[in-house]
Amino acid sequence: MGNLMQTLMLSASGMQAQSGRLRTVSENIANADTPGFQRKTVSFKETLGDTPGLVRLGDVRLDRSELTSIYDPGHPLADDTGHYDGSNVDLVVEIADAREAQRSYEANLRMFDQARQMSASLLDLLRR
């Protein structure tokens, strides 16, 4: 049963990490048109402990790439030249990241469900 619990813990930590990643990507998408918004990125870290392979979200970092310069002289944030800083969020990249996080979450969910079904089958066999 020890390996089964480790499998459940591994897949649960993967689901938790991917849901945090998806939350960050969703925030980036929601703020794609916000002037001055900098894209946020997250990384994964392996947790140290009894079960190797457990992951968690690392620190949230700001993407330091250059903000887009938008020309709109009528905008309240525009400078003397009519430009203001947009965001550095690329929607294509964010949507690809969201799909990757969703698919990784689903893979961990299937692994969790498979381990749960195996434990239920084992208990049924032991009852007979």
State whether the Cα torsion 26-29-35-38 is positive or negative: positive
User: In the predicted model, is pLDDT for residue 1 greater than 70?
Assistant: no
pLDDT at residue 93, as a whole number: 95
By C-alpha distance, which of 93, 67, 70, 101 is closest to 83? 70
Amino acid at 101: A
Q: Which of 17, 12, 9 is nearest to 52 (CA)?
A: 9
Residue 97 lies in domain: 2-127
Residue 106 predicted with pLDDT over 60: yes
pLDDT bucket at 7, cuts 50 / 70 / 90: confident
Residue-wise pLDDT for 15-59, tens only, equals: 999 999 999 999 999 999 999 999 999 999 888 777 778 898 989
Give the chain's domain count: 1
pTM for the whole structure: 0.83
pLDDT tens by residue, 52-95 = 788 989 899 999 999 999 999 999 999 999 999 999 999 999 99
Distance of alpha carbon 3 from alpha carbon 22, whole angstroms: 28
| Dist CA 80 CA 87 (whole Å) | 20
- The pLDDT assigned to 38 comes to 96
pLDDT confidence of residue 119 = 86
Instruction: Report which of 6, 17, 12, 105 is spatially closest to residue 56, judged by C-alpha positions.
Output: 17
Q: Give the separation between CA 85 and CA 69, rounded to whole angstroms.
A: 5
